[in-house]
Amino acid sequence: ITREREQDIQPLRIAIQRNLDNNQELMEQLRDTAVLMLASEKLERARDSHREQQASELVESYSKRAVVGALAAVAPGSDIIIQGLLATRLIQALCKIYDVSVKDVEIESFLRLAGGKVRKMTAITLAITGNALKAFPGIGTLTGGLVHAVAYGMIFESLGRAAAQTLASRGELRPYPAAKAFEEILNDNLEAGAVRFAKLALAEKVKKDQP
């Protein structure tokens, strides 16, 4: 049996360090390069943090709009039209934050895939939404608009977070990974999201019903 001997690189390290110590100009160049790299990394982290904050605020804003839009729908199916326009604008706005050029077909593909995920989860989503609303005393009979408003809030939040996550990690909108992330985020946050958006929907309904 033959075994490879571990390479002793200590002499090489010593030789390299000795050469560096004797070359002041090279030392200065390496130091300047290290400083620039450190500054660049700090700027990138600051940029990423700023984008993440902007994206979070944008998603929160559009999720609220989705809730309000569902409550405001007056004709059957009109909420679908409202939400479709909002979803497209949300993705476009997120792409702008991440400085990503996106084609309409990519947005449409992502929304179509996400819609397929939603349809598979409709029953459980509406059931959890209904339970969350029933937890609030004095709510009375649940209406379809109220239930849908809560569901849309959760869907938009998950949609926005999934898109932002994909844009941040890949530098582009990739419909299939984004749709997968959407499904996971929605599934992981169903119960907590239902409670949060139930509170929001009820508050908005009170405003809407006021004379």
Question: pLDDT digit of tens for each residue in the chain (211 aa)?
Answer: 555 555 566 777 777 667 767 777 766 776 767 666 776 677 777 878 888 999 999 999 999 998 888 887 655 455 566 688 899 999 999 999 999 998 998 999 999 999 888 888 877 887 887 777 777 765 655 555 788 888 889 999 999 999 999 999 999 999 999 999 999 999 888 888 888 888 888 888 777 766 6
Domain segments of the chain: what residues? Answer: 51-209
- Compute, in degrees rounded to 10, the torsion defined by CA atoms 66, 103, 51, 40: 170
Enumerate the H helices of 73-140 as residue ranges. 78-97, 104-120, 122-134
Cα–Cα distances in Å, from 110 out to 113, 117, 170, 177? 5, 11, 15, 9
**27: CB partners within 8 A, 6+ apart:** 20, 21
Q: Tokens at residue 101, please? A: 């050029």
pLDDT of residue 76: 45
Q: Tokens at residue 63, please? A: 């999720």
pTM passes above 0.75 = no
